[in-house]
Amino acid sequence: MNLSTAHGSASPAPPGDRFPRGAGERQADGERDLAGCVDDRLADRFDRLAELIGGSPHNLVSRGERDRVRSVHIEESRAVGEVLAPVPGASWVDLGTGGGLPGLVLALCYPSTTWTLIDGTAKKVAAVAMFAAALELENVRAVHGRAEELAWSPQHRGVHDGVVSRAVAALSVLLELSRGFLHDGGTLAALKGARLEEEMAAAETARLSLALGPFHRRQLSTGDRPTAVVTMCAQGPPPRRYPRRTGVPAATPLGGAGR
């Protein structure tokens, strides 16, 4: 897919905490991109991406984090890829991509997977599209819009194999924002920090209301901060009532637990 701008290392999972068989396991392991995120040949392109993000005038990361884009943020995104292992031909969404993380890193690692990077801030989407062009990524589409609206559009509703998000919203809110993009069996993956246990407990009502399977988590072993990937599988098509209109999921989270 040509680039376009539109509008509108993980630690082993403990026994009993395995990931669901979602989008990343629909084909045999041998059909996955052979290099994935462990290919040392990607190092120069990761360095270039770090320069682009850190040097952007749009404050895509805080000033104090600019020197850590390569060593922390990109390495964390690489670790996410090792956990999810998307298959060739799959279609994934990076919801709330911000400066393009983890989506651009995953697009570099998995060039045979299509990545739709969505954000509600137009200048961030424009920057991400520019980064993708500079990196010669042909499997990325940068899309400007709100999740509550895009998840109802025919080109997105119930058609994607996976949604991944990083630092977007509390889990109870994120589930509603993400669910409409997934088909039956699709994978929802969220990067979360130290409050993961609290957020999972608060999101249980949302999980059940949105026809999502049990939570599975995998701790990432990169960086100097506690980060885990929590995933769940979509059970059936998107529920007919969700997502609710723009702003409602964050203002009135399912189960009453927001940010």
Q: What is the CATH number of the domain that holds 80?
A: 3.40.50.150
- Taking the C-alpha atoms of residue 132 and residue 155, their distance in angstroms, rounded to an integer, is 21
Q: 98 is in which domain, residue-wise? A: 4-25+36-256
Is residue 30 a part of any domain in this protein? no
Is residue 31 a part of any domain in this protein? no
Is residue 91 a part of any domain in this protein? yes
Phi, psi of 220 (to 5 degrees): -90, 145
Element of type H or E holding 114: strand 114-119
Q: Which residue in this structure is represented by tokens 């990169």?
A: 222
pTM for the model stands at 0.85
Phi, psi of 113 (to 5 degrees): -105, 140
- Note down pLDDT in tens along the chain; length 259 residues: 334 455 453 333 333 344 454 444 444 443 445 456 666 779 999 999 999 998 888 877 666 676 778 868 889 899 999 999 999 999 999 999 999 999 999 999 999 999 999 999 999 999 999 999 999 999 999 999 999 999 999 999 999 999 999 989 999 999 999 999 999 999 999 999 989 999 999 999 999 999 999 999 999 977 667 899 999 999 999 999 999 999 999 999 998 755 4
Three-state DSSP state, 249: helix
Is residue 90 a part of any domain in this protein? yes
* Count: domains in the chain: 1
